[in-house]
């Protein structure tokens, strides 16, 4: 087996391979082609055999299974990835920019002494690695050139298509000599949060409210609109962080994924974490004062204006 150009590390949770794992394969193949070399994939903990079968897609050259532990444990992941790097000497480590990815990728990069670029939305290699990412709340994109012979990159979910097609990868078990019992951070369990009386995932029409509402008292306006329209109220993260609405109303990466017929986003800028939860809506409508707000990039209809002027008119119209 030749040395890999890219080693991508899959992510799974509670028995399910996460979608970003297949996106990593697409990004990994692109980069391996640019660098010139193989794409290897590691899957650590859990039912590694089953996950390896799912990861065996077109373009993958080898899959390394590390059968230690059941669920994500950052010290096991760190130990396994470092041992794989020692054994196979990849040029690039490609990891998910997920909550768990960010719980071990920086430690791996630090420990190996390789430069780390997180939250990549594009990568390219032409004698040197360049990574595209967003800054200032998605208002600008930057390209970053990385100086070095080895790199670690975490990629944003949803930016690359999932790899498809059956692969012909060799699947080998890898003994990483890591012991979950030695971890100084021990997972005690999981809890679903935010199940309440209202299930926003079931609603056909959502009126969703964000930071633009300014004050808790103003939420009344949104509830009035939802009532007039026969809709359910949901929100972006800051509203829940402020304690103005319960967690079960939150749409987004850390909240719920919703797919209503109509999603009316009021005073929501459209941060990538929010969009991850609602981009599957059939029709997206945005009301926002900032014409450059990212929400307009995915909206079907938009009004650039002050919600405090638009919403009362809309309520009047429906009443």
Partner 1 sequence: MKVLVTVKEVAEVGDDFAIEGTEIAESDLEYDLNEWDDYAIEAGVRLAEDGIADEVVALTIGPERSEETIRMALAKGADRAVRVWDDAIAEAFLDVDTKVDLLEAVVDEEDPDLVLTGVQAADDAFGATGVALADRIGFEHAAVVNDLDLDADAGVANVRRELEGGVEELTEVDVPAVLTVQTGINEPRYASLRGIRQAQRKEIATKDLADIGLSPDDVEGALTVTNMYEPESESDAEIIEGDPGEAAGRLAEVLREKGVDA
Q: Residue 123 or residue 146: which is nearer to partner 1 going by CB? A: 146
Query: Taking CB under 8 A as the rule, does residue 107 contact partner 1?
Result: yes
Q: Residue 51 or residue 237: which is nearer to partner 1 going by CB? A: 237
User: Least CB distance from residue 274 to partner 1, whole Å?
Assistant: 13
User: Least CB distance from residue 146 to partner 1, whole Å?
Assistant: 6
Query: Taking CB under 8 A as the rule, does residue 138 contact partner 1?
Result: yes
Q: Report the b/e string of 8-29 with b at 16+ CB within 10 A.
A: bbbbbeeeebbebbbbbbbbbb
How far apart are the C-alpha atoms of 76 and 179, rounded to whole Å?
7
How far apart are the C-alpha atoms of 271 and 293, rounded to whole Å?
9
Report the residue from 36, 127, 140, 197 that binds partner 1 according to the rule CB under 8 A: 140
User: 26, 62 in Cβ contact below 8 A?
Assistant: no
Report the residue from 41, 153, 231, 268 that binds partner 1 according to the rule CB under 8 A: 231
User: 39, 61 in Cβ contact below 8 A?
Assistant: yes
State the distance between the two ends of the chain, measured CA to CA, in whole angstroms. 70
Report the residue from 111, 162, 244, 279 that binds partner 1 according to the rule CB under 8 A: 111
Report the residue from 33, 103, 122, 224 that binds partner 1 according to the rule CB under 8 A: 103
In the chain, how long is the greatest CA-to-CA distance?
70
Q: What length is written for the chain?
A: 319
Report the residue from 8, 253, 265, 267 that binds partner 1 according to the rule CB under 8 A: 253
- Kindly identify the residues of this chain, within the stretch 41-100, that bind partner 1 according to CB under 8 A: 72, 74, 78, 97-100
- Kindly identify the residues of this chain, within the stretch 144-173, that bind partner 1 according to CB under 8 A: 144-148
Residues sharing a CB contact under 8 Å with residue 220, sequence separation 6 or more, in sequence order: none
Report the residue from 36, 165, 181, 230 that binds partner 1 according to the rule CB under 8 A: 230
Q: Residue 140 or residue 166: which is nearer to partner 1 going by CB? A: 140
User: 65, 94 in Cβ contact below 8 A?
Assistant: no
Q: With 0-12 CB in 10 A as exposed, 13-18 as middle and 19+ as buried, what is 220?
A: exposed
From residue 279 to residue 318, what is the string marking binding to partner 1 with x (rule CB under 8 A)? ---xx-xxx--xxx---xxxxxxxxxxx--xxx-xx-xxx
- Kindly identify the residues of this chain, within the stretch 189-208, that bind partner 1 according to CB under 8 A: 189-194, 204-205
Query: Taking CB under 8 A as the rule, does residue 246 contact partner 1?
Result: no
Pick from 293, 302, 311, 228: which is nearest to 263 by CA?
A: 302
Query: Taking CB under 8 A as the rule, does residue 181 contact partner 1?
Result: no
User: Least CB distance from residue 223 to partner 1, whole Å?
Assistant: 13
Query: Taking CB under 8 A as the rule, does residue 24 contact partner 1?
Result: no
């Amino acid at each position: 087996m030749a040395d890999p150009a890219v080693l991508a590390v899959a992510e799974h949770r509670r028995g399910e391979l996460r979608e970003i794992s297949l996106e990593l394969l697409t990004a990994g193949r692109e980069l391996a082609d640019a660098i010139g070399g193989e794409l290897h994939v590691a899957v650590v903990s859990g039912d590694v055999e089953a996950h390896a079968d799912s990861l065996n897609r077109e373009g993958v050259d080898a899959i390394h299974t590390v059968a230690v532990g059941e669920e994500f444990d950052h010290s096991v992941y760190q130990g396994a990835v470092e041992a794989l790097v020692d054994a196979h000497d990849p040029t690039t480590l490609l990891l998910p920019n997920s909550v768990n990815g960010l719980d071990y990728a920086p430690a791996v990069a630090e420990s190996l002494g390789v430069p780390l670029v997180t939250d990549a939305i594009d990568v390219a290699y032409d004698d040197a690695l360049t990574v595209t990412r967003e800054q200032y709340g998605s208002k600008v994109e930057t390209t970053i050139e990385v100086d070095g012979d080895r790199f670690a990159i975490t990629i944003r979910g949803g930016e690359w298509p999932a790899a498809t097609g059956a692969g012909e990868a060799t699947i080998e078990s890898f003994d990483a000599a890591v012991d979950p019992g030695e971890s100084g951070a021990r997972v005690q369990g999981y809890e679903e949060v935010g199940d309440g009386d209202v299930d926003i995932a079931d609603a056909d029409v959502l009126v969703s409210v964000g930071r633009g509402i300014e004050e808790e008292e103003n939420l009344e306006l949104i509830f009035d609109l939802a009532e007039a329209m026969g809709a359910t109220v949901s929100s972006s993260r800051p509203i829940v962080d402020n304690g103005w609405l319960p967690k079960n109303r939150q749409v987004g990466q850390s909240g719920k994924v919703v797919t209503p017929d109509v999603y009316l986003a009021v005073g929501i800028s459209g941060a990538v974490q929010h969009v991850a939860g609602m981009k599957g809506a059939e029709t997206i409508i945005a009301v926002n004062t900032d014409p450059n707000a990212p929400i307009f990039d995915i909206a079907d209809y938009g009004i650039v204006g002050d919600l405090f002027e638009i919403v009362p008119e809309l309520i009047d119209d429906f009443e």
